[in-house]
Every structure is written in C-alpha cells, then in structure tokens.
Copies of this chain bind each other. A is one copy, B any other.
Amino acid sequence: MAELRNGDLARRTAHEILVMIQSGDIKPGDHLRSQLLADKFGVSRSPVRDAMHLLSDKGVLEQRRNRGFFATDKGPGRIAKLVQASSQNLEDQDVYRRIAEDWLTDAIDEEVTELFLQTRYDLTKAELKDILLRATREGWAERKKGYGWRFLPVAKTPEAFEQIYRLRMTIEPAAILEPTFTPDRKRLTELRDDQQRLLDTDVEKLRLERLLNTGSDFHESLIQLSGNPFFHMSLVRANRMRRLLEYRAKLDADRLYSQCRQHIEIIDLLAAGELIEASYALKKHLQGALAKKTRSSRPDLVDF
C-alpha cells in the first residue's frame, strides 16, 4: 500500500474539499474526479489524491477500487465540525498573523534580521522567506539594502483606517462609472444571494472571518465588474492591509444588518441599470462607515 504523504498542500486541499461539501457544491454520492479537482485548485493530482485519502479516513469520502472516491452522506453537523477543526488546524500554523500582530502592538522592533525572526518564531528559512514574501506583497515589510528587514508603519495608526476608506470612497464609486463597467447579471445574483444568506443567518453566530470575507467579496467583486484590473488590484491591496487591523476590531451586529441591506440595495440598483444612483449609494455607504468609525476612539468593525 502506498504511503500516505500528507504535506501541507494535501491538508489544505482536504480543507477546500470539505468546504465544497459543506456549501453543497459536492453532494452525497457524487464522484470526485481527481483531475477536475486538481484543475480547480490549480495543483496536480497527487495532493488531491492524498487529500481524498485523508478524507476517506475521516469517513467523509468512500473509496471504491478502481473507480475513485465518492462523497458519503455524513450529516452537515459533522461536516461543519470537521471544517472547523481543519481551519483551526491551519490557523494555528499561521505565523504570518502572529508576526503582523506583534508588529502592530510594538512587540518587535521596526528593523529585524532574518535570524531574529527565524529563532523567535521557530521557522525554517523557506517558511520565513514565504512569510516575508507575503508581507512584502501586502505592503508592510521591505528588505533593507544590506542585511535585514524593515517593517513599515503604514497601517499602524488609527488614521490608517480613515485613509483606506478615503481611497475606497474615491475608487469604488468611480469604478462603477467606468465606460467598461458591465453589470453581469449572473455575478450580481450570486452576490445578492450571499448577502441575503447572511441576513437570514443569525449574525451573532457567524465567525468574524466569514463575515469579513463575504464583505470584502462584495466590494471586490463589484469593482471587478469595471473591467479594469488596476482598480481591482488597488482595492485588494488596501483591503489586505485593512484586515491586519480588523482582526483586532470589535463587532457591531446591528450595524452589520444595516450594511447588508445597503449592499443589497446597491446590487438592485446595478441590476436595474441605474449606474449613477448605484455609484452614489456606494459612496454614501462607505461614507457612513467612515463617519461611524471616527466617532469611536477604538476601531470598530464598521464595514465588511
């Protein structure tokens, strides 16, 4: 029998498959074609197969010899538990966030050597390189000319929140008015459903991360419809930085409901072809979030 190699990629892939099952993308009895999934995840069949082995050990999948893997009908509660567990598992290993947190709370210096980080967070060279790559891409770390790295103060202050919103208030409404903007029906419907689902769920019960993701998705999908990838990229970059701060923010449930409703209103305006009105509503929506924020001293989670 083949060894079970479970690298990080296999585990991450297993998690993604679980999410697909949870969301109903894969239904009980479905045949999981390995090449199909591999293409979907942008990897080769090897880690997919390893992932499927992992999941069949958990009883989520069932292997039939020479026919591949099939989804069993584990109850949704059981699936949710496994999703929770595997996402917890992945987050534990997320040193990236720990470093970001330490930097934001001044627990580490502005300038550090690789060696320092490697020993402090018990990382191998490649792991550290990977994390610094990410931090560089997201704009809060840079290589010094000689030895060492410098962390940038860009999103440390409370004003940073406001500044990010000011940028968003400029580019998001403008994106809707771009001549290449096309309100894609199908995408809009999907977005509307996502928002509606959030409204229907008891917001209190949702995990913070899920909320942030759905909110970011809305805004980023919208700007993507502009057909200009540079608008999209600017927003994505700003949002990534915002996230660093938001993990420490509080949650305001009432606010969230109202935000959700505004999102839906904007989608409806777009679907009706009222671009100018939608652009204006989006601007107001962001303005409202900003106004709320500046009133409180500690950063709230005001938009998502």
Looking across the interface, which residue of chain B has its beta carbon closest to that of A13?
B145
Say whether A234 faces chain B, with CB atoms less than 8 Å apart.
yes
Whether the pair B9, A231 counts as a contact (CB closer than 8 A) is no
Whether the pair B9, A229 counts as a contact (CB closer than 8 A) is no
Whether the pair A228, B166 counts as a contact (CB closer than 8 A) is yes
A262-B228 Cα distance, complex, nearest whole Å: 27
Name the B residues within 8 Å of A41 (CB-CB): 145
Binding site for B on A (CB under 8 A): 9, 12, 41-44, 47, 129-130, 132-133, 136-137, 139, 143-146, 154, 163-164, 166-167, 170-171, 174, 178, 228-231, 233-234, 237-238, 241
A238-B234 Cα distance, complex, nearest whole Å: 9
Whether the pair B47, A164 counts as a contact (CB closer than 8 A) is no
Whether the pair B133, A163 counts as a contact (CB closer than 8 A) is no
Whether the pair A43, B146 counts as a contact (CB closer than 8 A) is yes
Q: How far is the CB of A155 from chain B (nearest CB, A)?
A: 9
Lowest 7 A-B CB distances belong to which pairs?
A: A234-B234, A167-B230, A170-B174, A43-B146, A163-B228, A43-B145, A136-B137
Oligomeric state, in copies: 2
Name the B residues within 8 Å of A42 (CB-CB): 144-146
Name the B residues within 8 Å of A167 (CB-CB): 171, 228, 230-231, 234
Whether the pair A133, B143 counts as a contact (CB closer than 8 A) is yes
Name the B residues within 8 Å of A129 (CB-CB): 129
Interface of A is mostly: helix
Whether A230 contacts B133 in the complex (CB less than 8 A), given A42-B144, A146-B47, A170-B174, comes out as no
A129-B233 Cα distance, complex, nearest whole Å: 23
A255-B289 Cα distance, complex, nearest whole Å: 44
Name the B residues within 8 Å of A228 (CB-CB): 163, 166-167
Looking across the interface, which residue of chain B has its beta carbon closest to that of A130?
B143
A230-B161 Cα distance, complex, nearest whole Å: 10
Q: How far is the CB of A243 from chain B (nearest CB, A)?
A: 14
